Amino acid sequence: MSTVVASAAVARRQQRLDRGARVGRAGMWVVLLGALLLSVAPGLYMLCLSFMDNPQLFAGRLVPWPPHPENYPRAWVASNIGRLYWNSVYVSTASMVATVALSALAGYGLGRIRFAGRGVVYGIVLIGLTIPLQIALIPLFMNLRTLGLLNTPFALIGPYTGFGLAFGTFIMKGFFEGLPRELEEAARLDGAGELGIFARVMLPLTRPAVATVAIFLFLQNWNEFLFALTFITEGRMRTLPTGIYALLSSEFYGNYPILAASLVLFSVPVLVLYFVFQQQFVEGITAGALKH
């Protein structure tokens, strides 16, 4: 009799636990779906807005009907977005390549080579992660003006590369430190030099880190606004964020659907890049977190 009572008590307890687990999962899904909705709602509204006209917008509609797809060719022509695309791609790619190359070398040196003062150098690199862009704005402007680099691509490529080095070195150092020493020793026995070990043995093994750093820096450079607004004032040299911003007071004044269409065109490369390389990006971030 006591065994039956005990079994019934255990069954009731298990039912309560299962019910509590289901409630917990339901609550978790509610929170996640709410966060997802809050995240994507502005983007969805911007997409809907890009297919409206001004009467539909001021009527408070959420769904454009009838849609106006002609907003996109009008936005492309009005903003000269082809040139803005080229400027953004050129500046973002050049600075990203330079930063990845330099941070890979720095990460290898700090992670694999023992030398006096290595900890101090790495500490200085970490300090670079804490410096906000706004502090360097005026000194950089004065230096670039003295060198005659304002309104040139180098006015953005240089600062973007410099401010990205700390993050790139931090990620690359963690990956290089996690690689087994046996690979390096085997390469030395085969007669490989330090540069050969880096380029032929170690660097190919850090592809997740390279992909993570490259994607993160490209997106950061693509979206950067403050330096581009300050150092580039000529219309033909502007990047996408500042180019669209400059048109708010002229072609786009009061025409918010055309502006929304331009912003959608601006966002497409970022979304495509992330969805194509999201696996490498997540793997790199996860592996870097585990190594650190």
pLDDT at residue 172, as a whole number = 87
The per-residue pLDDT of the chain, averaged, comes to: 81
Q: What is the pLDDT of residues 91-132, one digit of tens each?
A: 999 999 999 999 998 888 888 878 788 888 888 888 888 888
Percent of all residues in the chain with a pLDDT value above 70, rounded to a whole number:
86
pLDDT at residue 223, as a whole number = 86
What mean pLDDT is predicted for residues 196-225? 85
Q: How confident is the model at residue 289 (pLDDT cuts 50, 70, 90)?
A: very low
pLDDT at residue 182, as a whole number = 79
What mean pLDDT is predicted for residues 122-144? 86
What mean pLDDT is predicted for residues 212-229? 88
Highest mean pLDDT among 22-31, 169-178, 221-230, 279-288: 221-230
| ∠ Cα 217 143 247 (to 5°) | 60
Which residue's entry shows tokens 């500490």? 123
- Between 13 and 230, residue with greater pLDDT: 230
pLDDT at residue 290, as a whole number = 47
Which residue's entry shows tokens 């880190």? 209
Q: Is the Cα torsion angle 81, 82, 84, 85 positive or negative in sign?
A: positive
Q: What is the DSSP letter of 113?
A: -
Q: How confident is the model at residue 73 (pLDDT cuts 50, 70, 90)?
A: confident
- Answer whether residue 275 shows pLDDT above 90: no
3-class DSSP assignment, residue 67 = coil
Q: In b/e form, how buried is each residue of 137-166, taking b as 16+ CB within 10 angstroms? A: eeebeeebeeeebbebbbbbbbbbbbbbbb
pLDDT at residue 204, as a whole number = 83
d(CA 80, CA 74): 10
d(CA 176, CA 199): 12
pLDDT at residue 91, as a whole number = 93
- Answer whether residue 192 shows pLDDT above 80: no
3-class DSSP assignment, residue 153 = coil
Question: Number of helices and strands (H, E) in the chain?
Answer: 13, 0
- Between 1 and 182, residue with greater pLDDT: 182
- Between 90 and 65, residue with greater pLDDT: 90
Say what the pTM is. 0.77
- Answer whether residue 264 shows pLDDT above 90: no
